[in-house]
C-alpha cells in the first residue's frame, strides 16, 4: 500500500492543512446581525416587562405592608422597642412567655422583655432603699454625679439613692416644697450595664438634648428594673426625658413640659 | 469608530454598536461553529447564541484584550455543549458518515478538486480529539496567531505550540492510514 512506502513530512501536512483551510467550501454566512438584534430587542422587552412586573409586585407588597402597619399589633411586632442608653422603651406589652432579660444584659441585647413573674411594686421613689448622702453616692460610682443649674432656685437634691440596676444607678430627688411626701423632680443617672425598661408609655416622641437624640415619654406606664437580685416595677405617671452623655444615661422625671425638661437637661453640670 | 469604543457603547446597551461588532466577527464565529459541528443550521444557532451571550457578558470582558479570541472562546464552549446534547443516535450517524471519506472525483475542474481535497482533509481532522481539532481550526482555518489561539483556547501560548505539534503528528498518521488519496496527491 502507498501509505506504507510514502511518508509525509511535518511541513507537508501543515501545507495540506493550510491549503484545505483556504479551499474548504463553507456555507454562506447567515444573517446573524439581524437575528441577534431581533433577539436582543425581544430580550430587552422581556426584561422590561419583567421589571415592570417586579415594580408592580414591589408596590403591592409595600401597599400590603403599609396596610398591616396600621394594625397596632402588627406595628408593635415590627417596631418592638426603642433603646436609648441603658433604657429600653417597649412599644408593646411583653408576652408572658418571653424570657426575662439577664440582669447584666447589654443594653443593645435583643428585646426580650417580660420580667420575672412577681415583681416587687414600688409606689413611690421615696420607698427606695439605698438612701445616702450625695458625697457617699459619689464615692461609690465611677462617673461624676451631675446637678442641674436650672431652675436657679432648685438647690441641691433633698434625697439621694444609690441603686444596683445591673449597674450603678444614682437617683437624685427634689421634693415638693409644700408637700414633703411628694416628689417634685427626680434625676436618674444610670451607669454602664444598667438596664431599665419602660412598657408602653402613653406618649413617646423623639427630641434632642444638646443636639443629640433624646426621648420624651408621658405616663402612665410601668418602669421595670432589677434591683440587686429582684425585679422591681413602678408605675410612672409623670413625664420623663431620657438622654445620654458618654456612658451615662440620664432620666429626668417630673410634671414639667418637654421644653422645661430639656432646659433642665441642658443645664446639668 | 474603534473596537474599544464600540465595546464601550455596547456595554451601555447600545445594540447598534454591538451589531457593528457582530458584522465584523460573524463570519469567523459562524465558520468555527461550522467546523466544530459540521452542520450549518447548528452553526448558525451557536453563532447567534455567541453574540447574544457575549453582549450580556460584556461587563465581564477585559477590554484590554482583543474581542475576536474571546468570541471564539465562547463559540468553542457553546459548540462543545451543543455537541454533547445532540444525543447518541446523532453522534452515531455522524460517526457513520465520518467512516466513509468522500472519494476525490477523477477528472474534476481544479477548483472543485481543491474543494474536495479540503473536505477530505477536514474529515481527517474530524477524526482527531476535540482538543486537537479546536487548536487546528483556530490556528490554520481561522488563521489566528499563536497568542490569539491561546486566548481563544484559554491556554498558554506554549501549550498552543506543543498541542499543535502533537495534533499535526496525529493528523499525519490519520491521513497516512485512512486517507491515502490525500497523501498521494500531496506527494505526487
CATH number at residue B112: 1.10.10.10
How are strands ordered across the β-sheet holding A87-90?
A: A81-84, A87-90, A196-199, A221-227, A230-236, A120-122
Q: Tell me what the mean pLDDT of segment A240-269 comes to.
A: 89
Pick from B99, B133, B165: which residue ends a domain?
Answer: B99
Q: Which domain holds residue A17?
A: 13-70
- Contact predicate A163/A227, CB 8 Å: yes
| Alpha helices, DSSP H, located in B38-87 | 40-56, 67-85
Of the given ranges (B5-9, B85-89, B167-171), which has the lowest mean pLDDT? B85-89
The answer to whether the CB atoms of B176 and A33 lie below 8 A apart is no
Q: How far apart are CA B116 and CA B174, in angstroms?
A: 17
pTM of the model: 0.49
CB A141, CB A170: distance < 8 Å? yes
Same domain? For A113 and A224 the reply is: yes
CB B80 within 8 A of CB B25: no
Same domain flag for A33 and A89: no
Q: What is the pLDDT of residues B108-123, one digit of tens each?
A: 577 888 888 899 999 9
Is residue A145 included in any domain, yes or no? yes
Chain A residues within 8 Å of chain B (Cβ atoms): 1-3, 6-8, 10, 12-27, 29-30, 32-33, 35-37, 39-41, 43-44
Residue B76 shares a structural domain with residue B1: yes
Instruction: Decide if A112 is inside a domain.
Output: yes
The DSSP call for residue A196 is E
The SS3 assignment for A241 reads strand
The answer on pLDDT for B149 being more than 80 is yes
User: Does A178 map to a domain?
Assistant: yes
φ/ψ (deg, to 5) at A6: -110, 135
**For residue B16, pLDDT beyond 60:** yes
For the record, the C-alpha cell of A256 comes out as: 414639667
Chain A residues whose CB is inside 8 A of the B44 CB are 30, 32
Task: Please check whether residues B79 and B109 belong to one and the same domain.
Answer: no
Write down how long chain B is: 188
Rounded-to-integer distance, Cα A244 and Cα B55, Å: 56
Q: What is the pLDDT of residue A262?
A: 93
Residue A3 included in any domain? no
Query: What's phi and psi for A108, nearest 5 deg?
Result: -90, 5
Phi-psi region of B101 (alpha: psi -120 to 50; beta: other; left: phi over 0): beta
What is the distance between the alpha carbons of residues B72 and B152, in angstroms, rounded to a whole number?
6
All three cell numbers of B156, joined, read 498558554
List the single range of A139-143, A185-189, A228-232, A251-255 with lowest mean pLDDT. Answer: A228-232
At residue B88, does pLDDT exceed 50? no
Give mean pLDDT, residues B169-181: 88
Residues A153 and A60 in one domain: no
Peptide bond into A220 cis (omega under 30): yes
Q: Extract the C-alpha cell encoding A121.
A: 411594686
Task: Please tell me the predicted confidence (pLDDT) of residue B81.
Answer: 86
A85 vs B49, more confident:
B49
CATH number for position B41 = 1.10.1740.10
Q: What is the pLDDT of residue A102?
A: 41
Selection from A246-260, B27-41, B108-122 with the highest mean pLDDT? B27-41
Asked if B149 and B186 sit in the same domain, the reply is yes
Whether residue B109 sits in one domain with residue B92: no
pLDDT classification of B171: cutoffs 50, 70, 90 = very high
Is it the case that residue B172 has pLDDT exceeding 60? yes
Q: Compute the distance between CA of residue B43 and CA of residue A83 in angstroms, rounded to an integer.
A: 65
Can you give the pLDDT at residue B55? 92
Band of pLDDT at residue B176, cut at 50, 70 and 90: confident
Of residues A165 and A132, more confidence is placed in A132
pLDDT band at A150 (very low <50, low <70, confident <90, very high): confident
Q: How many Å apart are CA A263 and CA A148, to the nearest integer?
A: 9
C-alpha cell, A21: 483551510
Instruction: From B71, B99, B127, give the residue that closes a domain.
Output: B99
Count of structural domains within chain B? 2
State residue A65's pLDDT score. 66
Average pLDDT over residues B20-46: 93
Q: Mean pLDDT throughout A167-172?
A: 88
- Predicted pLDDT at A152: 83
- Of B13, B31, B120, residue with least CA distance to A16: B120
Same domain, A224 and A97: yes
- Any domain includes A78: no
Q: How many domains does chain A fold into?
A: 2
8 Å CB contact between A187 and A250: yes
**Res. A199 pLDDT band, cuts 50 70 90:** low
Query: Which ranges in chain A belong to alpha helices (H)?
Result: 2-5, 10-23, 32-70, 72-78, 134-140, 258-265
Q: Nearest-CA distance from B64 to chain A in Å?
A: 24
Q: Do B122 and A20 meet the contact criterion of CB atoms below 8 Å apart?
A: yes
Residues A166 and A244 in one domain: yes
B residues 5..44 contacting A (CB < 8 A): 13, 15, 18-19, 22-23, 26-27, 29-31, 34, 40, 43-44
Are B45 and B90 contained in the same domain?
yes
Same domain, B17 and B74: yes
Interface size between A and B, measured as CB pairs under 8 A = 112
Determine the distance in angstroms separating the CA of A33 from the nearest CA of chain B, rounded to an integer.
Answer: 6
Same domain, B88 and B2: yes
**Coil, helix or strand for A155?**
coil
Given A40, A70, A100, the domain boundary residue is: A70
Per-residue pLDDT of A25-64, as tens digits, reads 999 999 898 888 888 877 666 666 666 667 777 777 776 7
Are residue A62 and residue A136 in the same domain, yes or no?
Answer: no
Spatial distance between the Cα atoms of A193 and A108, rounded to a whole number of angstroms: 10
> What Å distances lie between residue B160 and A112, B18, B137, B155, B169, CA to CA?
66, 30, 12, 7, 14
**Residues of chain A with pLDDT > 70: what percent?**
62
Q: Is the domain of B7 the same as that of B65?
A: yes
Q: Do B114 and A19 touch (CB under 8 A)?
A: yes
Q: How do A87-90 and A196-199 pair as beta strands? A: parallel
Q: Is A20 in the same domain as A117?
A: no
In a domain, A32, yes or no: yes
Domain end call among B66, B99, B132: B99
* Cβ-proximal residues to A164 (8 Å cutoff; 6+ apart), any chain: A130, A227, A228
- One domain for residues A132 and A195: yes
Higher-pLDDT residue of B168 and B60 is B168
What nine digits make up the cell of A211? 443636639
Residues A114, A178 within the same domain: yes
Give the rounded distance of the alpha carbon of B89 from its chain centre.
Answer: 23
Least confident of A161-165, B50-54, B128-132: A161-165
pLDDT tens column, A68-117: 666 665 555 555 566 777 777 766 554 444 334 444 434 444 444 444 44
pLDDT of residue B22: 93
As a whole number, the mean pLDDT across chain B is: 85
Q: Would you state the cell numbers that stand for residue B4, as one nine-digit string? A: 474599544
Q: Which domain holds residue B133?
A: 101-188
A260 and A130 inside one domain: yes
pLDDT at position A247: 84
Provide CB contacts within 8 A for A139, sequence distance 6+: none
- Mean pLDDT lowest for which of A12-21, A43-52, B178-187? A43-52
Amino acid at each position: 500500500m502507498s501509505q506504507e512506502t510514502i511518508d509525509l513530512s511535518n511541513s507537508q501536512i501543515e501545507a495540506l492543512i493550510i491549503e484545505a483551510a483556504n479551499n474548504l467550501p463553507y456555507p454562506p454566512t447567515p444573517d446573524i446581525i439581524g437575528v441577534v438584534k431581533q433577539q436582543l430587542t425581544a430580550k430587552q422587552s422581556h426584561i422590561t416587562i419583567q421589571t415592570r412586573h417586579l415594580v408592580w409586585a414591589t408596590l403591592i407588597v409595600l401597599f400590603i405592608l403599609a396596610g398591616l402597619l396600621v394594625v397596632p399589633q402588627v406595628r408593635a411586632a415590627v417596631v418592638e422597642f426603642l433603646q436609648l442608653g441603658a433604657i429600653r422603651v417597649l412599644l408593646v406589652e411583653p408576652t408572658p412567655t418571653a424570657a426575662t432579660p439577664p440582669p447584666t444584659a447589654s443594653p443593645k441585647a435583643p428585646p426580650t422583655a417580660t420580667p420575672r413573674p412577681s415583681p416587687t411594686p414600688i409606689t413611690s421613689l421615696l420607698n427606695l432603699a439605698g438612701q445616702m448622702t450625695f458625697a457617699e453616692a459619689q464615692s461609690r460610682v465611677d462617673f461624676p454625679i451631675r446637678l442641674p443649674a436650672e431652675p436657679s432656685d432648685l438647690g441641691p437634691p433633698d434625697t439621694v439613692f444609690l441603686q444596683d440596676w445591673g449597674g450603678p444607678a444614682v437617683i437624685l430627688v427634689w421634693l415638693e416644697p409644700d408637700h414633703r411626701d411628694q416628689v417634685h423632680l427626680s434625676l436618674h443617672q444610670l451607669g454602664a450595664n444598667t438596664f431599665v425598661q419602660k412598657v408602653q408609655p402613653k406618649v413617646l416622641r423623639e427630641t434632642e438634648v444638646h443636639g443629640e437624640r433624646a426621648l420624651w415619654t408621658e405616663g402612665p406606664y410601668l418602669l421595670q428594673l432589677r434591683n440587686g437580685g429582684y425585679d422591681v416595677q413602678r408605675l410612672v405617671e409623670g413625664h420623663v426625658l431620657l438622654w445620654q452623655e458618654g456612658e451615662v444615661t440620664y432620666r429626668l422625671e417630673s410634671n414639667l413640659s418637654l421644653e422645661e425638661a430639656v432646659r433642665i437637661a441642658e443645664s446639668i453640670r | 469608530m474603534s473596537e474599544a469604543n464600540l465595546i464601550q457603547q455596547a456595554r451601555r446597551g447600545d445594540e447598534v454598536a454591538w451589531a457593528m461588532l457582530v458584522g465584523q466577527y460573524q463570519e469567523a464565529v459562524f465558520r468555527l461553529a461550522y467546523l466544530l459541528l459540521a452542520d450549518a443550521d447548528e452553526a448558525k444557532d451557536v453563532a447567534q447564541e455567541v453574540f447574544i451571550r457575549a453582549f450580556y457578558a460584556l461587563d465581564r470582558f477585559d477590554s484590554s484584550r482583543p474581542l475576536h479570541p474571546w468570541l471564539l472562546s465562547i463559540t468553542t464552549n457553546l459548540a462543545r455543549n451543543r455537541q454533547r446534547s445532540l444525543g447518541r443516535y446523532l453522534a452515531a450517524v455522524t460517526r457513520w458518515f465520518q467512516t466513509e471519506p468522500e472519494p476525490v472525483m477523477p477528472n474534476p475542474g481544479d477548483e472543485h478538486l481543491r474543494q474536495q481535497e479540503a473536505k477530505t482533509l477536514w474529515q481527517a481532522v474530524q477524526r482527531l480529539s476535540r482538543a486537537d481539532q479546536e487548536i487546528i481550526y483556530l490556528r490554520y482555518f481561522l488563521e489566528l496567531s499563536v497568542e490569539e489561539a491561546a486566548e481563544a483556547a484559554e491556554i498558554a501560548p506554549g501549550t498552543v505550540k506543543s498541542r499543535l505539534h502533537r495534533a499535526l503528528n496525529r493528523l499525519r498518521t490519520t491521513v497516512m492510514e485512512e486517507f491515502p488519496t490525500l497523501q498521494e496527491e500531496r506527494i505526487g
